Structure 1
Amino acid sequence: MSTDHSATLHSETQSAPAVSDDRPPLERRLDPQIRKLAVGVWTAELIGDELANISYGGRPVLRAIKAVVRDHEWRTLAPSVRDIAELKDDDGISLRIHVDYAAPGTEAAGAEAAGTEAAAYEGMLLLRITPATVEVSFSGRAKAAFRRNRIGLVVLHPTSEAGRDVSVVSPDGTVTSGTFPADIRPDLVFSDISSMEWADAGTAFDLGFSGDIFETEDQRNWSDGSFKTYSTPSALPIPVDVAPGDTVNQSVSIEALSIETPDNPLRESHEPAAFTVGEPAGTVPTLAVSVDSPQPPAGDQGEGPQLPGLDAVLVELYEPREVWPAKLAAAAREADRHGAALDVRVVSDSADGVAEALIDALGGQLSRIARVGLFHPETECTDPAAFGALKASLAEAGFTGQFLAGTRSHFTELNRWIAGGSDGGGGTPVPQDADAVTFSLAPQVHSTEVPHITETVPVQRLAAANAVKLGGGRPVHVGPVTLKPRLHAPGQQAAGDELQDHSFTAAWTLASLAALTVDGVASVTYFEAGPPRGIANAEGTLNPAGELLQKLAACKGDPVLAATEAQVHPPAGKNPVTVYPVQSAAGLQLFVGNLSPREAVANVTLPPGTAASTASGPADVTVIGAAAGGGQADASSAEDGVLTVTLGPWATAVVSFRN
């Protein structure tokens, strides 16, 4: 279905530099410029180099189409738009976008710096939208020698496609019927793809690919809010050497054929979000933080902020073993500060000497450890034989805590580990005497754009529910949860994120915890104790995420009330507001957050008898991270027990009601 539209960009079309944006880089990241496109009943948004939120007749069709360049360690080269050329004609719109891709750690400082030798790759994207089709073509060229795992176009399908029946056409014309899965699938969803066909609300869609063979994976394994169709089939060997001048040419086209013209049923609504607080629906999971350094955080002189109610301090022990005593000592000091236990995750290919090392490092005080897990350094998953040996040796030493099995990596490893079985025969490798299972979360495995980070939140709930099922009903310990992946190739260091100390992270953490408050989740470990990936800054002061966790840790085990969102008709789309009602001994605490760069308003119907209707409004409104510029929040009571909460961009607040 690929068509060469380059001729439509005739000599009268002039290239222009990317639209200037003088805001600081962090502001540009939090609130990117969006260019809205519409032809016929097709609509889409151009955000940087990504064609996003492609809809037909108001119905979402594709989450995004974009080109990616990923090196031999699966690091994504950063794109920077150099210039854009546009042509409108009687048939539709064409956009030609010149993009430079910078090697990790050497990103160009904006479009004005693009095209320098810092960029390892360059590409030309041609976008064409007509009343019938949307097409994206990509021509890429290497500007430097490197090793790649993947280069080319990817198509992101929204998670709402789960359950959708699809016909997959292979290059030889074979048609195979399939379905986007409801549960997170550990293996490929579709393979050997030349095109995909499906129908929705009287419209037939045909999604065609050229330039390579494509396949589809379930990106929810990494908490992404999408399924992904990509080229370079996973069966091919990687990495591959790329020489300067090597090229890639691909295109993706989606065609719509409607029996009748869609009436654009899904229109944007500007009505405030509406929630009703009801009966208990769960409890606040116990919370933990991690320590990954044998040294105390900068500025920590033994005194620092405490998180009363914190369940544990998690520490990962990996080679070399010589640093284990110092790491355990640092974790124990942090645990003492909060009155917490230790959660020890050992990375070793065997249990030999592990029990002895723990006993020696803690002076025989194994009672300080609440739970322990053992993971193989190559698979990042539990080896059943080593697990059994460690349990036997620790039990002999008098250890009475929990034993965790699973993975220290992403949910995908837990999913594949259990699906594959210990012997590859499909049987579960989870040891029968494992007390619980575990996996970690990081929202930026594939995308660093803020909209994609926020879209991981509902997928976290699904991953947790799937983990409970995969573990045979065992409790699930989620974490560490970090903004960026902490597991990398040998020699790489876990990266911090400029978002860590921003109010965004508090709003995202609240939404994450609300998603993970499901039956079976026993604990969640967020971030580290100190910078750059922690809950405190270099001076030892809690950042907004740390302030939030301090308040939530004190609510350990308290009932969480259901916060049911009213369905606005027409649907309002993605609501950025999180409402997390906690019924503590002192009264109701309403945790609210806004995952949006715009002000958000929510009307919350409170439980009967809640003392909200006073002349001055609720008893107390506390803005999380106010001292660090964490935004504004306000709440006012109205008749019939309805509370109106107004939240500034990325703001998080706690509205407290006295009993």
Structure 2
Amino acid sequence: MTTAASRAIRLCGTEQVDPQLRTLRAGPLSVEFDNGAIRYVRIGGVEVLRGISFLVRDENWGTETPVLDDLQIDEKPDAFSVAYRGTCAGACGRLVYQARIAGGSDGALSFVVEAEPETDVLTNRTGFVVLHPIEGLAGKPVKVLHEDGREKLSLFPDYIDPKCPFTDIRALSHEIAPGIWATCTMEGDAFEMEDQRNWSDASYKTYVRPLRRPWPYRLPKGEKFTQAVRLQLLGTLPAASSKKPNPSINLTIGRAIGRVPRIGVGVAADEAKHALKIPELIRRLAPEWMVCQVDLRFGHGQDELESYTALAQLTGAGVVLEIITKGTLDPFGELAPLADAVQRLRLNPEAVCVFPAQDMKSVQPGAPWPAMPTFEQNYAAARRAFPGVALGGGMAAYFTELNRKRPPTGALDYATFTTCPNVHAADDVSVMETLQAVPHLIRSTRAFMGDRLPLRIGPSQLGCRENPYGKSTAPNEANGRVCLSRIDPRQRGLFNAAWIAGYFAACARGGVEAVAFGDFTGPFGHVHRKADFVQPWFDEQDGRMVYPAFHVMAGLSKLNGATLLSVGTSGVDSIAAIAAEKDGRTTLWLSNLTAKKQSVQLSDTPISARIAVLAADQFERAAADPNFMESPGKRLDNQFISLDAYAVARVDLHRSSST
């Protein structure tokens, strides 16, 4: 018998709940207080900074979650203040700090921290991080005040910068409205900026301690230090806004703009045999392509290829072999036995990608690359081993590594990369914000790889496949939200369904040829299986269960070959939408990207419409029934659609021919 899941499990797969944001105001200045950090610094509704936070990052770039004590918040009409004691403790050591935040109606904001390590702390970075938003700032002017007093007028990067655009920073100033400049000053150490869009973060990040210094480094026990971030405004500030937001998000479906991308899955070598045990569900998922990893570092070969061959026969999906070589200087010698096995099994892959092991670890810009085959040698070996098979190239790791090490395009049939949304932050808001960076990733890739090459992205998922920046992925025994961990509980919740719908919609608008998400089973899977990690509620159920994203994947696969339609929306950061036309029918997929209920209003009244909704109140039924979203749905009697937190809806529309 299926028992009821808690709302927390339904939404995010874990009983742990992200802290609620608290809005603090002082005249036209507003901020969101978030477990010791500040988000969304706005003046008169205009976003000035995406966030300010004091972080402790360990030697694998994992971020310690602070525990707050003695929290005091004081609010007045023209000022607010926050004070608390923070503690960061983990394998890297223990550090405590006193934090003071103050904001005024003149737009001034300060965030001061006095910190003391209670043990030695081994860290890659400890201190302030300041985030500037990307929307409205990409390619726009910024004044940079350097440590030596020099001021230079420059531009925020338009295309994603693989290097640090600015170093030795004391202050950054940008115009937030005509005649109004915001200056953010950082104190206590040297700061530099990186373009966080490299990791799919929706921000430019200015952080303490330049990467040219050695890391990890040690903070000695008892050695106190102070850092501060201050924001000042110059110009006539707007009055505090009293306008209430529109309760509904307007949505308009427009003209044809292209084709819907092919949707697929990744297949980890150790999950392929598990997938073969659930053939009906795999057929129901109906991926159009599979990225099947063959990792020669771990001796993959005949057994894995046999499983991939069986999956190809079961699904009819195209197979891309993602081959990680050992990185020897004889790439053909590594590939030849694999190619022989592929031929014996009559696997017939639609494409291969070959990546040397050295490319699975990050190399900082300007640092020497390890000895390894060149791109040209790898590609020539792949062509020789797999004649007549399409060749993809780029990085099996993240866009960051592709941007830092750009391959020649002449030998390739398509370009590829993956993303992981929790490299720098793992809270719900930050992870969902990464969808805002996807168009920038696509645009920047085309800028240096060219428009000729088709682009395929994935497999991407909430969890981390492999950590290019540390020794390993981060553990997550507590089933929480952890940076760079393979285990992300939201994979099992509605959160992931909404995120996948939003990611796919962004890729479709960007003209991406194909997108792959997650795996059939396992930590990145769409179908539950018992594993060596805890999966609350799902582990307790009888029978085979599917995660909410299963229904989104299966539904989007039905749009294969469909004509993509433009969609305009007034709530692009709250609602994701993709519309397509196939066989004379229009299908609209919507997902709520927030933890709050959203209302959507269709601008055009269809002749008729039916809606199927995947939401928290249907979670148990959807988990037990893989055909849950196959029903025609309910009749939509008006133009309004209500979506609960992270809910996803499919709307089947009959529109007039003039629409």
TM-score scaled to structure 1, two decimals?
Answer: 0.83
Q: In the alignment, what sits opposite 1:44?
A: 31
Q: In the alignment, what sits opposite 1:96?
A: 83
> Which among 544, 549, 555 is matched to residue 545 of structure 1?
549
Q: In the alignment, what sits opposite 1:496?
A: 487
Secondary structure of the corresponding residue to residue 547 of structure 1: helix
> Which among 358, 361, 366 is matched to residue 378 of structure 1?
358
- 1:358 to 1:183, Cα distance in 2 relative to 1, 3 A: same
> Which among 462, 466, 483 is matched to residue 444 of structure 2?
466
Residue identity in the other structure for 2:357: P
- Aligned runs of 1:136-215 on 2, under 5 Å? 136-160=111-135, 161-201=137-177, 202-215=179-192
Residue identity in the other structure for 2:146: S
- Aligned runs of 1:377-456 on 2, under 5 Å? 377-380=357-360, 387-393=375-381, 395-396=383-384, 399-418=387-406, 429-456=407-434
Quick one: distance in 2 between partners of 1:501 and 1:551? 17
Secondary structure of the corresponding residue to residue 406 of structure 1: strand
Deviates more, 1:175-184 or 1:77-86: 77-86
Quick one: distance in 2 between partners of 1:512 and 1:289? 14
Shift of 1:601: 1.2
Gapped regions of structure 2 (runs ≥ 5): 1-6, 362-368, 475-484, 530-542, 624-628
- Aligned runs of 1:546-561 on 2, under 5 Å? 546-561=550-565
Confirm or deny that 1:527 pairs with 2:512.
no
- 1:168 to 1:403, Cα distance in 2 relative to 1, 3 A: same
Quick one: distance in 1 between partners of 2:28 and 2:622? 39
- Quick check: 2:253–2:579 contact (8 Å CA) kept in 1? yes
Q: In the alignment, what sits opposite 2:591?
A: 593
Q: In the alignment, what sits opposite 1:121?
A: 95
Q: In the alignment, what sits opposite 1:353?
A: 333
Residue identity in the other structure for 1:485: C
Deviates more, 1:121-130 or 1:486-495: 486-495
- 1:359 to 1:98, Cα distance in 2 relative to 1, 3 A: same
Q: In the alignment, what sits opposite 2:602?
A: 604
Secondary structure of the corresponding residue to residue 228 of structure 1: strand
- Quick check: 1:100–1:119 contact (8 Å CA) kept in 2? no
Residue identity in the other structure for 2:355: F
Quick one: distance in 1 between partners of 2:156 and 2:270? 45
Which structure would you say has the larger RCO, counting Cα contacts within 8 Å and 6 or more residues apart?
Answer: 2
Q: In the alignment, what sits opposite 1:480?
A: 459
Quick one: distance in 2 between partners of 1:398 and 1:34? 53
Deviates more, 1:532-541 or 1:67-76: 532-541
Quick one: distance in 2 between partners of 1:457 and 1:281? 20
Shift of 1:552: 1.0
- Quick check: 1:44–1:53 contact (8 Å CA) kept in 2? yes
Shift of 1:619: 3.7
Quick one: distance in 1 between partners of 2:654 and 2:73? 59
> Which among 62, 65, 79 is matched to residue 49 of structure 2?
62
- Aligned runs of 1:100-115 on 2, under 5 Å? 100-103=87-90
Shift of 1:513: 0.5
Quick one: distance in 2 between partners of 1:263 and 1:53? 18
- 1:57 to 1:91, Cα distance in 2 relative to 1, 3 A: closer
Quick one: distance in 2 between partners of 1:620 and 1:91? 47
Quick one: distance in 2 between partners of 1:327 and 1:399? 21
Q: In the alignment, what sits opposite 2:66?
A: 79
Shift of 1:61: 1.0
- 1:72 to 1:27, Cα distance in 2 relative to 1, 3 A: closer
Q: In the alignment, what sits opposite 1:421?
A: none
Quick one: distance in 2 between partners of 1:40 and 1:256? 13
Deviations for 1:568-608, whole angstroms, at most 9, x for unmatched residues? xxxxx76412221121226221111111222211112358x
- 1:63 to 1:363, Cα distance in 2 relative to 1, 3 A: same
Identity %: 23
Q: In the alignment, what sits opposite 1:651?
A: 647
Residue identity in the other structure for 2:122: R
- 1:387 to 1:73, Cα distance in 2 relative to 1, 3 A: same
- Quick check: 1:359–1:365 contact (8 Å CA) kept in 2? no
- Quick check: 1:480–1:527 contact (8 Å CA) kept in 2? yes
- Quick check: 2:275–2:520 contact (8 Å CA) kept in 1? no
Quick one: distance in 2 between partners of 1:212 and 1:256? 23
Q: Count how many residue pairs are aligned between Structure 1 and Structure 2.
A: 597
Q: What RMSD over aligned residues (CA atoms) do the two structures have, in Å?
A: 3.0
Quick one: distance in 2 between partners of 1:361 and 1:143? 57
Residue identity in the other structure for 2:248: P
Q: In the alignment, what sits opposite 1:130?
A: 104
- Quick check: 1:297–1:530 contact (8 Å CA) kept in 2? no
Confirm or deny that 1:340 pairs with 2:317.
yes
- 1:644 to 1:369, Cα distance in 2 relative to 1, 3 A: same
Deviates more, 1:85-94 or 1:146-155: 85-94
- Quick check: 1:167–1:178 contact (8 Å CA) kept in 2? yes
- 1:556 to 1:248, Cα distance in 2 relative to 1, 3 A: farther
Confirm or deny that 1:364 pairs with 2:349.
no
Q: In the alignment, what sits opposite 2:502?
A: 511
Confirm or deny that 1:562 pairs with 2:566.
yes
Deviations for 1:332-370, whole angstroms, at most 9, x for unmatched residues? 333333211221122221413333232343353465211
Residue identity in the other structure for 2:230: S
- Quick check: 1:142–1:247 contact (8 Å CA) kept in 2? yes
Secondary structure of the corresponding residue to residue 364 of structure 1: helix
